[in-house]
């Protein structure tokens, strides 16, 4: 419900926003201390805008939505602001400007002037690692008309659907992940690798890659899994860059979910670290995942884990051709982001960002491209051997081959790499005596 004026409310009151439009988060009156807003940060996600207030201490706060014009008001009791509001990246958000003022002599009021109505969510985050007290404000875009559901798979014809690969760049937004020398951030590196993997897979007929996170914003661990399941993905791949207190730690790794304990102390350490992402990235108590407790009892999980292990082994083998490996086998631990009962899932650590040498490589486009290519080859190799029923790859396997029509810029070496076969096998299969191909020419690709 919206109202046209601000009504005062006593401390420690929590009223339903449906009843009054006013929501108050209270601390005990005796515990309220002066709190400064030390920084204001903003991220834009596909369906909402997140604003984070960094505080010097815990603060009592309330909020109110107003209309004519649309505004959202946040009051912080006994607080001041030391941060600038004029340089926030507001383009592409529903926020026109953010204003601040002092009321009742000691309370801070923040006013978000909006160009459209929004649905709001506020919650407090307690200190985590090097990050202090925070208030998280999510402004969800208001959908004014029903939107058609997106087409999740592109089908050339009935019974020839694409294999859907959900690619999840870890961390993002409020959660930077691990940090390397020179301020290198895991969230940035893994998004770049994920985009390269998406681009490469999109060029392979029969595959449809989808990024779970497309920009610098946070997605909860539960929502990452949920998106993969909503896509009816054939594979979920979460991409990360490792970190350890010993800078000498090195090597890439592939992990899957464990039904029991972790296969090594390193795997357990990493799982604990990655599972804490929601505490840093910002998830309210109402969004915590109730599914985790019983998911491993689902009978479908057994087949999913077997597929994950087999597929992960092929990916690890390919990564070993371009990078040092931390472990020469697929490791297992209780990663929350991998706990989908019906979607095979991998977590790939592309290297140790805490290792200066590996961090330097991870930051380069050439190495990112090599890593993406290795992951793509492993994925492609497994699905070429065991294509899901009803997919284009399954149909091609039944027909005894795969066809590709030559487009501008194609070369035999690039096509061979794309399909995981040799140039010689393509030439032999198509009766070619030279490496010359023509636009519009159709080649039959042999099995890898």
For the CA atoms of the chain, what is the radius of gyration? 25
Average pLDDT value for residue range 85-92: 93
Look over the chain and give the mean of its residue pLDDT values, rounded to a whole number.
81
Q: Examine the pLDDT at 293 and tell me if it is beyond 50.
A: no
More confident residue, 149 or 266: 266
Architecture of the domain whose range is 163-385 = 3-Layer(aba) Sandwich (3.40)
Q: How many CB atoms lie within 10 A of CB 123?
A: 16
What pLDDT is attached to residue 264?
53
CATH number of this structure's domain 400-445, picked from the four choices 3.10.350.10, 3.40.190.10, 3.30.70.1060, 3.40.50.300: 3.10.350.10
d(CA 276, CA 271): 9
DSSP assignments along 114-176, one per residue: ESS-EEEEEEEE--BTTB--EEEEEEEEPP-S--PPPP-S--SSTT-BPEEEEEEE--BTTB-
- Domain regions of the chain by residue span: 17-141, 163-385, 400-445
What pLDDT is attached to residue 300?
47
What pLDDT is attached to residue 298?
47
What pLDDT is attached to residue 376?
95
Q: Which two tokens stand for residue 359?
A: 């961090």
What pLDDT is attached to residue 94?
95
Phi and psi dihedrals of 63, rounded to 5?
A: -145, 160
Beta bridge partner(s), residue 75: 62, 109
d(CA 271, CA 322): 25
CA angle 32, 78, 67 (to 5 degrees): 115
Lowest mean pLDDT among 219-223, 242-246, 374-378, 428-432: 428-432
The predicted-structure confidence for 315-326, as pLDDT tens digits, reads as follows: 999 999 999 999
More confident residue, 131 or 111: 111
More confident residue, 392 or 4: 392
User: Where do we find the tokens 């670290």?
Assistant: 273
More confident residue, 179 or 294: 179
The predicted-structure confidence for 41-79, as pLDDT tens digits, reads as follows: 999 998 899 999 999 999 999 999 999 999 999 999 999
Q: How many CB atoms lie within 10 A of CB 29?
A: 11
Q: Examine the pLDDT at 280 and tell me if it is beyond 70.
A: no
Tell me if 56 sits within 8 A of 35, measured CB to CB: yes
Phi and psi dihedrals of 316, rounded to 5?
A: -60, -40
User: Where do we find the tokens 């993969």?
Assistant: 228
d(CA 209, CA 191): 14
What is the model's pTM? Answer: 0.70
What pLDDT is attached to residue 159?
60
Q: Which two tokens stand for residue 94?
A: 């529903």
More confident residue, 329 or 1: 329
**Among 259, 230, 208, 213, residue whose Cα is nearest residue 383:** 208
Give the HSE-up count for residue 303: Cα atoms under 13 Å, Cβ half-sphere.
6
d(CA 198, CA 122): 33
What pLDDT is attached to residue 272?
59
Q: Which two tokens stand for residue 279?
A: 């505490």
46: helix, strand or coil:
coil
What pLDDT is attached to residue 40?
95
Q: Which two tokens stand for residue 323?
A: 């990078």
The predicted-structure confidence for 345-363, as pLDDT tens digits, reads as follows: 999 999 999 999 999 999 9
b (16+ CB within 10 A) / e for 193-203? bbbbbbebbee
Q: Which two tokens stand for residue 55?
A: 């505080």
H-only helix segments in 203-320: 221-230, 265-275, 277-281, 300-319
Q: Examine the pLDDT at 6 and tell me if it is beyond 50.
A: no
Give the HSE-up count for residue 88: Cα atoms under 13 Å, Cβ half-sphere.
25
Tell me if 237 sits within 8 A of 313, measured CB to CB: no
Element (DSSP H or E) covering residue 382: helix 365-385
What pLDDT is attached to residue 27?
46
Q: How many CB atoms lie within 10 A of CB 178?
A: 24
Q: Examine the pLDDT at 296 and tell me if it is beyond 70.
A: no
What pLDDT is attached to residue 4?
35
What pLDDT is attached to residue 69?
94
Largest CA distance in the chain: 86
Average pLDDT value for residue range 155-164: 70
Q: How confident is the model at residue 143 (pLDDT cuts 50, 70, 90)?
A: low
Architecture of the domain whose range is 17-141 = Sandwich (2.60)
Considering 190-199, 240-249, 297-306, 421-430, the range whose residues carry the highest mean pLDDT is: 190-199
DSSP β-ladder status, 95-103 and 79-81: unpaired
Q: Examine the pLDDT at 30 and tell me if it is beyond 70.
A: no
The DSSP letter of residue 252 is: B
Q: Which two tokens stand for residue 126?
A: 């307690």
b (16+ CB within 10 A) / e for 125-146? beebeebbbbbbbbbebeeeee
What pLDDT is attached to residue 384?
85
CA angle 393, 299, 164 (to 5 degrees): 25
Average pLDDT value for residue range 218-234: 90
d(CA 202, CA 214): 15
């Amino acid at each position: 419900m919206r109202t046209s004026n601000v009504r005062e409310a006593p401390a420690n009151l929590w009223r339903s926003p449906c009843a009054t439009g006013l929501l108050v988060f209270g601390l005990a009156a005796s515990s309220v201390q002066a709190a400064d807003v030390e920084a204001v940060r903003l991220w834009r996600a596909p369906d909402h805008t997140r604003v984070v207030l960094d505080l010097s201490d815990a603060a009592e706060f309330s909020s109110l939505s107003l209309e004519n014009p649309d505004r959202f008001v946040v009051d912080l009791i006994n607080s001041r602001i030391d941060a600038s509001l004029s340089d926030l990246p507001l383009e592409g958000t529903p926020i026109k400007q953010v204003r601040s003022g002092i009321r009742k002599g000691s309370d801070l009021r923040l006013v978000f002037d909006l160009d459209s109505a929004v649905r709001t969510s506020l919650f407090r985050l307690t200190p985590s690692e090097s990050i202090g007290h925070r208030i998280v404000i999510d402004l969800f875009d208001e959908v004014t008309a029903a939107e058609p559901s997106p087409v999740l798979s592109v089908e050339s014809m009935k019974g020839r659907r694409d294999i859907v690969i959900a690619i999840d760049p870890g961390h993002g937004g409020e959660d930077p992940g691990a940090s390397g020398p020179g301020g290198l951030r895991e969230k940035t590196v893994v998004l770049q690798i994920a985009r390269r993997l998406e681009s490469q897979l999109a060029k392979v007929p029969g595959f449809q890659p989808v990024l779970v996170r497309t920009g610098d914003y946070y997605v909860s661990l539960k929502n990452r899994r949920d998106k993969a399941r909503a896509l009816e993905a054939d594979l979920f791949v979460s991409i990360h860059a490792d970190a350890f207190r010993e800078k000498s730690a090195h090597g890439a790794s592939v992990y899957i979910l464990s039904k029991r304990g972790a296969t090594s102390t390193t795997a357990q350490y990493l799982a604990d670290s990655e599972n804490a992402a929601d505490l840093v990235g910002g998830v309210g108590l109402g969004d915590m995942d109730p599914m985790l407790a019983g998911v491993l009892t689902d009978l479908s999980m057994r087949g999913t884990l077997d597929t994950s292990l087999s597929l992960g082994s092929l990916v690890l083998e390919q990564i070993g051709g371009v990078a040092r490996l931390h472990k020469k086998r697929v490791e297992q631990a209780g990663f929350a982001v991998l706990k989908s009962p019906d979607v095979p899932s991998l977590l790939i650590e592309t290297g140790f960002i805490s290792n200066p040498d590996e961090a330097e490589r991870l930051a380069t486009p050439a190495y990112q491209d090599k890593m993406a290519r290795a992951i793509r080859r492993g994925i492609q190799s497994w699905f070429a051997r065991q294509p899901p029923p009803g997919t284009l790859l399954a149909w091609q396997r039944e027909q005894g081959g795969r066809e590709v029509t030559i487009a501008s810029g194609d070369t035999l070496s690039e096509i061979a790499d794309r399909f995981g076969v040799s140039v010689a096998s393509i030439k032999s299969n198509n009766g070619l005596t030279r490496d010359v191909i023509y636009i519009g020419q159709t080649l039959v690709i042999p099995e890898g």
